Chain A
């Protein structure tokens, strides 16, 4: 077999599982369609997939889903900027002042495991039922991983790099900006990626719960109107958006992390 043939053979073999996965998904939808059309599954509980696909047009024309998407995206990005500023600064400060780190790191780790999103009624009272409640909810819930990853990133800077800085007689500020910060950037970005994902989850969730804002509110609205096909379509759209968001962040992370 020539090299090209081997490559072709291996790609053909590699794509089989992916095809099986996708095929199973399509088959699942076809079976659901059949079960619903034949009346074995109640169409007032599960709308047929064809109807869900059909209602996408309605979501675009009547519900202005793209505008809502931009609203949610805007909230996420605002929370993201706040996370970058406060989370990374918090992590850097905690690393700089060891005593502070020893005193507070376990608290931050504990916060990471607390169901912070449950504080949304509290935020409703403090900020009112507006976009800031949603943004702050995303921000607070995503803050612990950003802080922890920043500390982890700076702490795990290779000793040899730090020694290079020392041998050049760098000032503490130079040591930070020229050595520690660039070396810890990949880990910090892992924290930011986690943070942004948490922020998106909590932002959409809060929108749904307080019935305000972008995509989350749309799902709540459609469900309250008992527009089942629309609700399913909106949920599919949110899942699609989250998956794309997740993939984009992963790509960005791979792009940032140096090879080798």
Chain B
């Protein structure tokens, strides 16, 4: 990833369109052409690969329907709450583990190994604790989001320049002042990176939980389209969802200046 910046840009021809752009356009057109061909070939079951026209129509319908925005709002609210709870508790635990070697040695390995386990399997337990409403989805999102944030913050905390900490101490900063004035600003990148990872997994956790058991939200709409075999609608929803997820990820990265550090 980091090496793209180092690649030599291919010379721009007189037309003003670089070969990279041309190749991109060619790939997109190629995929669309193959798709359309498959849609009309009859080789696959009908509607498994629906015509682009049908997907476009449903996409338009989706984007102009109030119901979709209501469900999008529900999911966004759930993911936002999950990110808020999971992110803030992750930052708190991360600071605690990063600042204290003993705590880190005692507990961090548990977080490290629990982090990459599938979280969706906790959904039955979350339903028992929080019911079948949005709360259980928020809980699952929170659980997913907590681990990457905590681990990233703990690692970031240990990488803070010792000079900064000494400056804080020589100013006799209290614990809270140290956190707000020294630790948090110095750890901006690891925190943003943790939140970016956390956002991704919180989104997955919340949406998967919605597809399993719910009556509102984007996950519900997707599984509903599946169960009524409305494939163009499902494709349309997946496209919008991916665009939103990738956009949100890029936004968090850019907001935190991750883009600039990655290129250095």
Name A114's contact: one of B2, B7, B44, B246 (CB within 8 Å). Answer: B246
How far, in Å, is B51 (CB) from chain A's closest CB? Answer: 16
Chain B positions within 8 Å of A216 at CB level: 118, 121
Complex CA–CA separation, A144 to B84 (angstroms)? 28
- Residue A180 at the chain B interface, CB threshold 8 Å: no
Chain B positions within 8 Å of A114 at CB level: 242, 245-246
**A24-B121 CB under 8 A given contacts A105-B1, A117-B204, A243-B114:** no
For the complex of A and B, the 5 pairs showing the least CB-CB separation, nearest first, are: A223-B124, A17-B105, A121-B226, A21-B106, A113-B249
Chain A positions within 8 Å of B114 at CB level: 239, 243
A235 and B125 contact, CB distance less than 8 A: yes
- Nearest A residue to B123 by beta-carbon distance? A208
**A201-B117 CB under 8 A given contacts A17-B106, A103-B23, A148-B1:** yes
- Residue A197 at the chain B interface, CB threshold 8 Å: yes
**A118-B121 CB under 8 A given contacts A105-B1, A113-B200, A113-B245:** no
How far, in Å, is A227 (CB) from chain B's closest CB? Answer: 10
Chain A positions within 8 Å of B74 at CB level: none
Chain B 103-122 residues near chain A, CB threshold 8 A: 103-107, 109-110, 113-114, 116-118, 120-122
B242 and A238 contact, CB distance less than 8 A: no
Complex CA–CA separation, A126 to B19 (angstroms)? 35
- When each residue 10-53 of chain B gets 1 if its CB lies under 8 Å from chain A and 0 otherwise, what string results? 10000000011001100100000000000000001100100000
**A247-B246 CB under 8 A given contacts A201-B118, A235-B122:** no
Name A126's contact: one of B48, B113, B200, B238 (CB within 8 Å). Answer: B48
Stretch at the interface among B87-95, B150-158, B181-189, B207-215: B207-215
- Residue A70 at the chain B interface, CB threshold 8 Å: no
- Nearest B residue to A115 by beta-carbon distance? B204
Chain B positions within 8 Å of A232 at CB level: 125
Name A117's contact: one of B102, B106, B123, B208 (CB within 8 Å). Answer: B208
- Residue A106 at the chain B interface, CB threshold 8 Å: yes
Footprint of B on A, CB under 8 Å? 14, 16-18, 20-21, 24-25, 45-46, 98-106, 109-110, 113-115, 117-122, 124-126, 148, 151-152, 155-156, 197, 200-202, 204-205, 208-209, 216, 219-220, 223, 228, 231-232, 235, 238-239, 242-243, 246-247
Task: Please tell me the size bucket of the interface on B.
Answer: 35 or more
Complex CA–CA separation, A114 to B239 (angstroms)? 10
- Residue B163 at the chain A interface, CB threshold 8 Å: no
Complex CA–CA separation, A98 to B9 (angstroms)? 10
Chain A interface helix/strand/loop/mixed: helix
B20 and A103 contact, CB distance less than 8 A: yes
A20 and B106 contact, CB distance less than 8 A: yes
How far, in Å, is A232 (CB) from chain B's closest CB? Answer: 7
How far, in Å, is A238 (CB) from chain B's closest CB? Answer: 6
Complex CA–CA separation, A103 to B29 (angstroms)? 14
Chain B positions within 8 Å of A17 at CB level: 102-106
**A102-B106 CB under 8 A given contacts A113-B249, A124-B226, A216-B121:** no
A209 and B241 contact, CB distance less than 8 A: no
Chain B positions within 8 Å of A239 at CB level: 114, 117
Chain B positions within 8 Å of A24 at CB level: 106-107
Known pairs A103-B20, A208-B118 / 11 extra A-B pairs, C-beta < 8 Å: A17-B105, A46-B128, A101-B4, A115-B207, A118-B211, A120-B211, A200-B118, A209-B120, A235-B122, A243-B113, A243-B114
- Residue B222 at the chain A interface, CB threshold 8 Å: yes
A–B pairs, 14, beta carbons within 8 Å: A17-B105, A98-B7, A99-B10, A103-B23, A105-B4, A115-B242, A118-B207, A122-B238, A152-B2, A155-B3, A204-B118, A205-B208, A208-B212, A242-B118
